[in-house]
Amino acid sequence: MAGGGGCVTLRGAQIRDLLDSKHNVLFDCDGVIWNGETAVTGAPEVVSLLKQRGKRVFFVTNNCTRPRENYVQKFSRLGFADVAEEEIFSSAYCSAAYLRDVARLQGKVYVIGCDGVMKELRDAGVPVAEEEDAEPGASIYTCPLDPDVKAVLVGYDENFTFMKLAKACCYLRSSECLFLATDPDPWHPLRGGRVTPGSGSLTAALETASSRKATVIGKPSRFMFNCIASQFGLDPARSLMIGDRLETDVLFGSNCGLTTVLTLTGVSTLQEALAFRDSQEPQQKHCAPDYVMESVADFLQALEE
C-alpha cells in the first residue's frame, strides 16, 4: 500500500509532467466524467486527446446498475467517442469475473442486486439462484431455499426486502458459502440534494445479521485493478487513478500503488482531503490524494499543446 498523498493542486507544467510520466489513465465515472446524464464539461475531449497521445484509458466504476454494453451506450450518448466495452470495468463485471475465475464457483449465487449485476453474471456463465415472487403471507419459515447456493453477492438493489435479507442470512449460515459485495459505497447523491442508499449499506445490514464480513470486489479492493492488469499488463508505477471519492477511488489507487488525483466535481471536497492528509490515523492518510484538481477539464490545456 502506498502512503498518503500530499493533496498538491495541479497546475500548468505539473499537469504536463504528470501526464508525460504515465501510460495508463484510470477514470471513475460518476462525479468525474459525468454527473447523471450530463458529461462533465471537457471530459469527452480529455478522453479523446489522451488516446490520441497514446495513453491507455480505462473506466473503473462501483456503479453496478448497468452491464458493460449499456455503459458503452451511455458513453456514446454523452459524447464520448470510441469507448470500447473492454475498457470498462464495473463492480458488477468484476464480481462475475471473481466468481468464475477466482472462486471457480461450483454451485449457484444468491443475488441481492439489480439487473446490471444479473446480466454480468449470466454473461460470465455464473449460475444464479432465481428469486421467485413471494406468495402472500410467505415468511422465512416457509419460503423455499435453494440447496445449490454456494455464494451470496450483494449489490445495489432498489427492491431490497426483509425476505431477501433473511434468505441471505440462511445461506450464510454455511461457512462454505461465499459472501461477496460488489462495492462498499454507503450512499449516492441524487438530483435535488437527495441521496439513495448504496450497496455498502445493504451489505452492512447483512454483515450485522449474519455476523460475517463480506469480501468486497469493487474499489477500494485491489481486485478491480488486478482484473485490468491481467488483461492489459498495467504497470502501477505508470498508472494514474482519477476519482471523486476519497474512501473508494483514492484509497483504491493507494492500495494498488497508483498515483491519485481527486477531482472536485463529485462527492469529496478539498477540505476532507486535507483533513485526511493531516490525520494521525494511517487508514485516513491512505485516503489522501497525491494531487487535486477542480475538474478533468484542467487537463485540456496540457493535452492541446
For the annotated catalytic residues, the residue numbers are: 28, 30
Residue type, position 236, single letter? P
Is 28 annotated as a binding-site member?
yes
Is 115 annotated as a binding-site member?
no
Residue type, position 146, single letter? D
What sign does the CA torsion over 67, 243, 227, 57 have?
positive
Is 219 annotated as a binding-site member?
yes
Q: Do the Cβ atoms of 153 and 126 come closer than 8 Å?
A: no
Give the three-class secondary structure for 14. Answer: helix
Nearest CA to 170 out of 143, 189, 203 is that of 143
List the beta strands (DSSP E) in the chain: 8-9, 24-27, 34-35, 38-39, 56-61, 88-90, 108-112, 149-154, 178-181, 187-189, 195-197, 215-216, 239-243, 259-263, 291-293
Give CA–CA dist 71/202, Å, rounded: 24
Beta sheet of 149-154, edge-to-edge order = 108-112, 149-154, 178-181, 215-216
Q: Do the Cβ atoms of 83 and 56 come closer than 8 Å?
A: no
Pairing of strands 108-112, 88-90: unpaired
**Residue tagged 494531487 (cell numbers):** 291
Q: Binding-site residues for substrate, please?
A: 188, 219
Known binding-site residue numbers for Mg(2+): 28, 30, 244
User: What residues are designated binding site?
Assistant: 28, 30, 188, 219, 244
